[in-house]
Amino acid sequence: MGNGTLVFSGGSNDGSGRLVFGEQGTAVIPDALFSVDAELPGLEGITLRTGVCVSVDAELPGMDADVGLRWDANVSRGGLRAELQSVWQEAKPTSAALISPWEEAARLRVATEAKWQKGKPIPTAMQPRWEATLPLRSGVVGHWQEGRALRTGLSVPWQDTLRLRSGVFSHWQDGVALRVGLAVPWQDTLRLRSGVFSHWQNGQPMRAAQIGRWRDGLPTRSGIRSHWEEARKPPPGVSLRPPVIVEPETPCYDPATVGRLIFSDLAMGDARLVFVCQRPGQVLPPAAIVIQPQRTYVVINEVEIRRADNLGGDPLPCESFSMSLNSGSWAWTFSATFHISAREAVTPVNYNQPIELEARVNGQPFRLLAEQPLPTRRFAEHTIGISGRSRAAHLDDLEALQTFGNTLDVSAHQLMQECLTVNGGSFGWDVDWQITDWIVPGGVWMHQGTWISAIADIAAATGGYLQPHDTDQIMRVLPLWPQPWWRFDQLTPDIELPEGYSEVDDTSIIYQPAYNRIFVSGETGGILADVTRAGTAGDILKQMVVHPLITEVSAAQQRAIAELSQSGVGLRHKMILPINATKGGVIKPGTILRYVDDSSAWRTGIVRSTSVAMQFPELTQSLEVESHV
């Protein structure tokens, strides 16, 4: 056969399953050629198994190996050596390796037939779907571009207006002097030769010396008018003495003398205890907050300062703190000293934007602006000090100077709110109006300055003043005198202090003329008011005051009360108090205070200034109170 076909011998039924080439007994084993064409790196040896007739013709170029033959007859050693008659024998391999149905295929070098291969780049770069677009030089297609400056400046909504040479259009201008002096409302009057019309003149001496109010009294002999005398029996008949009517005593209230025990041996003669009142018939209104007299006052002092943007963090290491406010200022001024470790926390990066702090004085919060850091280095200490004002300092921006005015009729409250705007829109500040409002006609008021100077000028028209809110962006407008000093008995005190509550008392007396009449005037569009204190002759005239916002009677009355209240004999009482968080806390200017002066007399006054000072652990407030005799 010679083709290497494997034949299972049908004559063998021993179940050995041996493979026989050809037919049994007649098989002719042809020569077989065996060749190996392979690269076997790392192969240690090759084993060839053949039949009896074996010849090996091999070329192994480059191989360093030992070639040996191993004989395996695969038959029993007993009996005859007829190896060729074996039913099963090892087939002789043929040399026709290419005829084998299975063999190691030769590698084809046609690489293009692979299903996957490295692609060759195509030089046609213009075919990608996405690529860098070429910039278009027609820039006019852009939605936004740098506008071309137009030379027609008249189309700009705001611009520097051309000055008009016709000055008559200005609301305010240098008036043309009129030669008709009679047209002036106020002028030097012609002197009249009839001097009898003068209210004040040199008096003529009178010889009626008996008109004097005080002189030597004439002695009288009516000694029987003594309250106490020796009793005598009444004469017979009907007594003409009228019956004595005992009037009921009017109850009174005087906190200074309630419960005072008086031994009255002159009136009763039996030394009984009598409860008396030094000022019978006078009932004082109760105060909103009353601090009861005690033997000991216990106050736990604490001042905590934090940045407003870190209220939940630890307080800054403050060593000293002070702040003050009076009725003539519109913002708290303060200073504080910290350990040098707080330098970054209190030093502003931009000095136009100060650091905002929150100071809690015995629990009462105040918002403050750290404007000026002051580092200090001394022996054994290294600190940094700061000073500044409250949040109202934002309204004093000198870079925002502008001109304020009104063109329409508005109320004074509305005019102040319009001043706290930018281009007609509010920027977060509001007004707490606590004085009587009035109407301001259009075009009668103009002011140039900052926001705070404009609203302060409106408040000053009626004798009012500004006071900042402790934490919020609110300005309070308060009257300087809620009631004139001669009507202080109609005031309800905000706080009542017991005698001995203040640590230091200092009283000074201020003498002023007893003014009872004043002229209050506006300007163009205003009024002229002659105000006289009720119940007086109006003979002591105070200097006239003029303000363009005096446009109604209500405004003139408020300004006249503020001016006439600064008259007579006044008292300036200074005291140092603890800061009681539950009994008023920090007492601010404008508070109506009832207290006991150095002569143990009850006084009602108005707080004019407040100063808070902390040098740990001591924390006090100093008040200056204005009252009248």
E-strand spans in 362-420? 364-378, 381-390, 402-405, 410-411
Mean pLDDT of the residues in the chain: 75
Helix (H) or strand (E) holding 624: strand 618-628
Q: And the tokens for 397?
A: 């921006």
CA–CA distance, 511 with 572 (Å, rounded to integer): 11
As beta bridge partners, residue 476 has 432, 467
Best mean pLDDT range from 14-28, 255-269, 284-298, 530-544: 530-544
> pLDDT per residue over 528-555, tens digit each?
999 999 989 989 999 999 999 999 999 9
| pLDDT exceeds cutoff 70 at 82 | no
- pLDDT the model gives residue 153: 46
Tell me the pLDDT tens digit for each residue of 610-624.
Answer: 999 998 778 999 999
Q: What is the average pLDDT across 411-436?
A: 92
Percentage of the chain beyond pLDDT 70 is 56
- pLDDT score for 499: 87
**pLDDT surpasses 70 at 460:** yes
| Each residue's pLDDT tens digit, 325-334 | 999 999 999 9
Q: For residue 56, name the pLDDT band (cuts at 50, 70, 90).
A: low
Pick the residue with more confidence: 243 or 522?
Answer: 522
Q: Higher confidence at residue 285 or residue 445?
A: 445
Q: Give pLDDT, residue 18.
A: 56
Distance, CA of 429 to CA of 473 (rounded, Å):
5
**The pLDDT value given to residue 143:** 56
Answer whether residue 374 shows pLDDT above 80.
no
Intra-chain end-to-end CA distance of the chain, in Å: 155
Residue 303 has pLDDT above 80, yes or no: yes
Q: How far is CA 470 from the centre of its chain?
A: 11
pLDDT at position 570? 92
Lowest mean pLDDT among 217-231, 384-398, 588-602: 217-231
Tokens representing residue 287 in the block:
């105060």
Residues whose CB falls within 8 Å of the CB of residue 267, separated by 6 or more in sequence, listed in order: 274
Length of the chain: 629
* Cα→Cα distances 219→35, 209, 223, 354, Å: 178, 20, 11, 82
Say whether pLDDT at 398 is over 70. Answer: yes
Compute the average pLDDT of residues 393-417: 91
Beta bridge partners of 505: 575
pLDDT band at 502 (very low <50, low <70, confident <90, very high): confident
pLDDT, tens digit, for every residue of 83-120?
445 456 666 666 544 555 566 666 655 444 556 667 77
pLDDT at 360: 94
Q: For residue 365, is pLDDT > 80?
A: yes
pLDDT on residue 353:
83
Give the residue from 511, 563, 555 showing the smallest Cα distance to 532.
Answer: 563
* Cβ atoms of residues 384 and 374 within 8 Å: yes
| pLDDT tens digit sequence for 470-501 | 999 999 999 999 999 999 888 899 999 998 88
User: How does pLDDT run across 123-182, given as a tens digit for each residue?
Assistant: 655 555 555 555 555 444 445 566 665 554 444 455 666 565 544 445 566 766 655 444
- Residue 64 CA neighbour count, 13 Å, CB half: 1
Q: Which structure tokens are listed for 126?
A: 């213009």
What DSSP character marks residue 21? S
336: nearest Cα among 309, 315, 353, 350:
315
**At residue 376, what are phi and psi to the nearest 5 degrees?**
-135, 135
Residue 197: predicted pLDDT:
47
3-state secondary structure 90-153: CCCCCCCHHHCCCCCCCCCCCHHHCCCCCCCCCCCCCCCCCCCCCCCCCHHHCCCCCCCCCCCH
- Taking CB atoms within 8 Å and a gap of at least 24, the contacts of 192-199 are 199/539
The partner residues of 357 in beta bridges, in order of sequence, read 307, 368
The predicted-structure confidence for 226-275, as pLDDT tens digits, reads as follows 566 677 777 676 665 666 666 665 555 555 555 555 554 444 444 555 45
- pLDDT, tens only, 168-217: 445 566 766 655 444 445 566 655 554 444 556 676 766 554 555 666 77
